[in-house]
Structure formats: C-alpha cells, structure tokens
Amino acid sequence: MQLSDVKLGPFHLYSIETGRFRLDGGAMFGVVPKTLWSRYIDVDEKNRINMAMRCLLITSENTDRVYLIDNGSGTKFNEKFESIYQIDHDHSNLLDSLSHHGFEPEDITDIIFSHLHFDHCGGTTYYNEQNELKHRFPNARYHITKKHLQTATDPNAREKASFLDDNIAPIKNWDKLTLVDEHHTYEEGLDALPVNGHTISQQLPRLTAEGKTVVFMADLIPTHVHLPLPWVMGYDMYPVKTLNEKERYLDQAVEEGWYLFLEHDAQQELVTAKKENGKYTVDQQLTLSDLND
C-alpha cells in the first residue's frame, strides 16, 4: 500500500486526474443566464466550459482496501465523440495519474461508482489491440446502487445518451459486481449519501475521521460555481429534487465544516461552504494536502 501526505485517520487520499472535457455552458447551468454564469467561468467560442474528470483514490489502513471513486471517460470513443466533448487526455489520464502515485490498475480492490454516466465510468473498460473489450481493473469489486443500475440499463429517452452500452454492459455482467442500497457503509468512516435529482440513486461517498469530513460531490455540485441553490444543471432529471438535496447537504456542510471534493471543477479541487443572508458561497478554496494543516 502506498502512503500519501494526505491522511485522514486510517485513510490515505489521492486526487486522480483522468482528463479534461468540455460541456455546453447553458446545459451546465440550466435556467441561469449566460450573463451571470460567464462571470465566474471561462467559455469557448462554442459556448463550452472546461471540465475536469477528477477521481478520488482512498487506501484504508484498517482493511487494506484500495478504493477508486469513479474513473473518468476512458478511451472508448470515436473521433466524432471526441470532437463533441473535446476529450483531452494530454492534460492528464487515468493510468498516468495512478502511476504518479505508485499504483497500477491491478492494485484497485474496489470501484465505487457515483453513477454510470459516461464521464464517470468509461475508464472501467478499454479496447485492446485486437479490439477486444477488457476490464481495466481485473481485481476490483464494482459497487453501484441497485436503483441506479436499473436506471442505467433501462434509461429514459432524455438520459439515454449518457449511458453508453459498451460502458454499462461490462459493469452489469461483471462477476464481482455488488449492488448496494442507499446509505451504504463500505467500512467504518466511509459511507455514501444518496441523491436522486441529477439521476436516480447517485451516491456521494463520504469520509469521516479525526473530526473531519470529506464528501465526493460528483454531479450534485460539479463545480464551485454551482453552490448557489438555483444554479442547477440542465442535465438533471429532477431539478426541484436537486434544489432540495443541495440545500439539505449544504446546510449540513456549513454546520459541520465539510470539505467538498469537486469532481468536475477545472480550477478547484476542494472547497468549504458558508451561508450568508440565506445564500451559499465558497468559504475556503483548498487542495487535499491542506487537510493535513
């Protein structure tokens, strides 16, 4: 087991950058007009914003488990797909990021999927030189909620484009697949919070140790710019539910001083939140290494 300089009780934390991509800014901010959101985030000539695919690797001294939360888009896309989303693996990629911290795919014992949209689970599998679909993490047990797997395998027309067959089928048929219930506890100090606004039964892994809490925010709060309650993605299936979930968890985050790990923010890795005059904003802008200060 590799040791990092980011330690939270029995856990060691590593930020795993798997690449960048771009999504339409209007879709990312829903009903919020561009004149507002463009003040806080850069936009290109096609109205797209730069997005990270930042995953979290956790090792546990108590169980010797090596958890990877999500794994990016992977490489199973054609030129058209790459052009639409401007997939950028020159910035960073899954294998290099793992290697940088001293890990190989074979070291991963558990993959916790927040949900199965392509930019969160595409790195699970890859095509080899013989064009055969292979699992990237041969020793890993996959963890996904029962309700979300049902959604991913039988999606509605609006969400279907985010669930790609060559991502979903290998996960569904993996002999080490574990279907978990909402509020699942993976081990003492590591559990998951359920949210259902973005997609049915997304899970937000939460680490709690030494009086500190780190929550992997996935697509409930994809970037620090999304902290205000009404700033909800157009991609969300149930935006009013997202509003309620954001308010509930942000209130808890402010009260308990949670550290929010941001999967899609190209600039900010970790933030804390504050509430003033009924509005939520960023309090501190941090990195994982600041947890040791």
Distances (CA, A) of 58 to 101, 103, 191, 194, 263: 12, 11, 13, 20, 15
With a cut of 70, say whether residue 249 has pLDDT above it. yes
The pLDDT value recorded for residue 79 is 87
User: What's the DSSP call for residue 136?
Assistant: S
**Predicted TM-score of the model (pTM):** 0.96
Q: What are phi and psi of 78, to 5 degrees?
A: -90, 180
Query: What are the pLDDT digits (tens) for 134-175?
Result: 999 999 999 999 999 999 999 999 999 999 999 999 999 999
Band the pLDDT of 82: cuts 50, 70, 90: confident
The pLDDT value recorded for residue 1 is 52
Residue-averaged pLDDT of the chain: 96
Query: What are the pLDDT digits (tens) for 183-226?
Result: 999 999 999 999 999 999 999 999 999 999 999 999 999 999 99
Band the pLDDT of 4: cuts 50, 70, 90: low
The 3-class secondary structure across 5-40, one letter per residue, is CCEECCEEEEEEEEEEEEEEHHHHHCCCCHHHHCCC
Q: Which domains does the chain have, with CATH numbers?
A: 7-212 (3.60.15.10)
